[in-house]
Structure 1
Amino acid sequence: MSALHAGDPASFATDVLDEGPPELEHVPGVASRRPTKTCAGGALIRDSAGRVLFVVPTYKAVLDIPGGMTEDDESPKAAAQREIQEELGLSAALGPLLVVDWTPRNGVWSDCHQFVFDGGVVDGAVACDPELEGVLYLTLDDAKPRIYPSLHRRLTLALAALESGSTRYAEFGREV
């Protein structure tokens, strides 16, 4: 898969060419004054008992789901797939988008668009990244004291989206 696009790289390259030459600024400096948002892609992975897979990062005090921040010219889905490969050693064929969530600035972190994809069922996943202490399979209730409240809300929406087949849009984990 291309880092630019998780779908067919040949079609993506054609789409880029069809778009025409890169857009130029009509008023110099306008683009550089625009805010820079970050973007992250993650996966809701469950085990056969229905528990959610959480990673235990070494660089923060809370649990998270597999995934991470996008790199330049990388889609959220491609970022999630890359991070799952790095973190868990799994080649993830991610399913549909479950949640798009906007989170506000938090300390050193700028506001962010967070995409959660269906990661399917994986039993016995293990951490294979030095940035992780390990992985845990937990119910959302068991995970609640160990994750940010916004992630708990986001994952609650992701499970509802998985059940309904309908993508959810949220702001700080609250559906709007």
Structure 2
Amino acid sequence: MSALHAGDPAAFAVDVLDEGPAELEFVPGVASSRPTKTCAGGALIRDSAGRVLFVVPAYKTVLDIPGGMTEDNESPKAATIREIREELGLDVELGPLLVVDWTPRNGVWRDCHQFVFDGGVVNGAVAHDPELSGVAYLTLDEAKPKIYPSLHRRLTLAVAALESGSARYAEFGREV
């Protein structure tokens, strides 16, 4: 369920009904032949010193921001809220969208739309999920050797978007 309707399932149900009956394929097989993209949501969370909160996944060698992949029929914002609750045990009210970034296929991972939301200021966050081995508050310069270059570019854009109040669109972390 989307974050917009997370507190009001009845409103979500009404919106679904208002759309009318499910769309049928005019030409059978067209929909199933379309590529499938993945989608992820994450949060730019800072501490009171302005450092960025990174999670330390136990299943990969690089740091990441709190968030994760969407599930079926889940919005990027709802996925971000769910993942923060699972990973950090926190219920956050996300601020505005900061960045939409497209990332190309990478090994086994399909290309992906990545959304970064303003996660606000949280001091003293701790890992709450066994898939994490910890958390770290770092400046972007400190984090640079510990994260993918595309994530560094995406977060640099997210900080700029936060400061300017204007969301950014990027491809592989580069604003276009």
TM-score above 0.5: yes
Matches of 1:92 and 1:12 in 2, distance apart?
21
Deviation at 1:55, TM superposition (A): 0.2
- Matching residue's letter, 1:89: G
Unpaired stretches in structure 2, ≥5 consecutive residues: none
Matches of 2:149 and 2:46 in 1, distance apart?
19
Deviation at 1:14, TM superposition (A): 1.7
TM-score of the two chains, using structure 2 as the length reference: 0.97
Larger displacement relative to structure 2 (39-48 or 10-19): 10-19
Deviation at 1:12, TM superposition (A): 2.5
Q: Describe the superposition over 1:58-84 as per-residue Cα deviations: whole angstroms up to 9, x where unpaired.
A: 111100000000000100000000000
Matches of 2:68 and 2:20 in 1, distance apart?
31
Q: What is the aligned length? A: 173
Write the mapping of 1:9-20 to structure 2, written as runs, cut at 5 A.
Answer: 9=8, 10-20=10-20
Deviation at 1:11, TM superposition (A): 2.8
Q: Describe the superposition over 1:101-140 as per-residue Cα deviations: whole angstroms up to 9, x where unpaired.
A: 0000000000000000000000000001000000000000
Corresponding residue for 1:30?
30
- Matching residue's letter, 2:23: E
- Matching residue's letter, 2:47: D
TM-score of the two chains, using structure 1 as the length reference: 0.97
> What SS does the aligned partner of 2:43 have?
strand
Unpaired stretches in structure 1, ≥5 consecutive residues: none
Matches of 2:135 and 2:53 in 1, distance apart?
7
Matches of 2:50 and 2:38 in 1, distance apart?
30
Write the mapping of 1:120-135 to structure 2, written as runs, cut at 5 A.
Answer: 120-135=120-135
Q: Describe the superposition over 1:139-165 as per-residue Cα deviations: whole angstroms up to 9, x where unpaired.
A: 000000000000000000000000000
Corresponding residue for 2:167?
167
2:92 paired with 1:92:
yes
Corresponding residue for 1:150?
150
% identity of equivalent residues: 84
**Structure 1 segments (4+ residues) deviating >6 Å:** none
2:82 paired with 1:82:
yes
> What SS does the aligned partner of 1:7 have?
helix
Deviation at 1:5, TM superposition (A): 1.1
